[in-house]
Amino acid sequence: MAEPKHKDVTSLDDIPSAAGNQEPMDLNSLAEETVDYASEDRLTAELEQALAERDEMRDRFMRALADAENARKRSDRDRREAEQFGGSKLSRDMLPVYDNLVRALDAAPESDENTKALLEGVRLTLRELLNIFTKHGITPIVPEIGDRFDPQLHQAMFEAPVPQTKAGDIIQVMTQGFLLHDRLLRPAQVGVSSTPAGS
C-alpha cells in the first residue's frame, strides 16, 4: 500500500527552542533606525569641502614648487653673471694701463739702441696684460680706418669731411674698445667721416 504523503505542516515541536527566547521586534524602533538623509547630505557636503581644500592645497603646493624652481634658476643666472661680470669695474680700471703701454710703444723710437731693452719689456708687459684680459673674457674691439661706424661698438669723438670716403666711415681710431664676454666694457673711440653723398 502506498505511504501517505507528508504534509508541509511544521509542528510546534520542530521550532527550535532558541527562537522562542528572543523578544519580539518592535517595528516602531525599526522605523526610527532608518537612514537619516539629512546626515548623509551633511557628510556629502563635508566630503566635497575636504576635496576642495585638498585641491586648493595641491594648487598652492604646485605654485610654491614653481616659485622655488624659478628662484633657483634666477639664483643660478645671478651667480653666473656675477662670475662673468663681477670684475667689470676692475677690468674697466685696467684699460688705461693698456692704453698707456700702447702709447709708450708708439712714441718710442725703434732705432735707439739704449731703449731696445726697455721697449721689449713694455711689449712683454703688454702681451701679458692681453693674456690676462683673454683669460677673463675681455676682448679688444679693433676698428680699422674705412670700417663702418657701429654705434653699438664705437663712440664718435668727432666728424670731419674727408674726400674719397662715405659718411659714416671711420677715418681715425683714437683708442680701442673692449668687450667683457658679450657686454660692452668700453666703446672704441673713433673719428667719423661726414662727407655728404655725391662728394
Write out the residue range of the structural domain in which residue 114 sits. Answer: 88-193
Residue 164's nearest CA partner among 146, 182, 181, 141 is 146
> Is there a domain that residue 31 lies in?
no
Q: Are residues 72 and 92 in the same domain?
A: no
Does the pLDDT value for residue 5 go beyond 80? no
How many structural domains comprise the chain? 2
Grid cell of 125 as nine digits: 708687459
pLDDT of res. 98: 93
In a 13 Å sphere around the CA of 108, the CA atoms on its Cβ side amount to 19
* pLDDT confidence tier of residue 51, bands split at 50, 70 and 90: very high
* pLDDT confidence tier of residue 72, bands split at 50, 70 and 90: very high
- Do β-strands 170-175 and 154-160 pair in parallel, antiparallel, or remain unpaired? unpaired
Give the residue, 86 or 28, on which the prediction is more confident. Answer: 86
3-state secondary structure of 177: strand
Average pLDDT (102-129) is 85
Q: Are residues 172 and 138 in the same domain?
A: yes
Distance, in Å, from the CA atom of 42 to the CA atom of 8, rounded to the nearest integer, reads: 51
> Is there a domain that residue 161 lies in?
yes
Distance, in Å, from the CA atom of 144 to the CA atom of 69, rounded to the nearest integer, reads: 47
Q: Are residues 76 and 95 in the same domain?
A: no
pTM beyond 0.75: no
Q: Are residues 124 and 154 in the same domain?
A: yes
Q: Are residues 93 and 79 in the same domain?
A: no
pLDDT of res. 176: 93
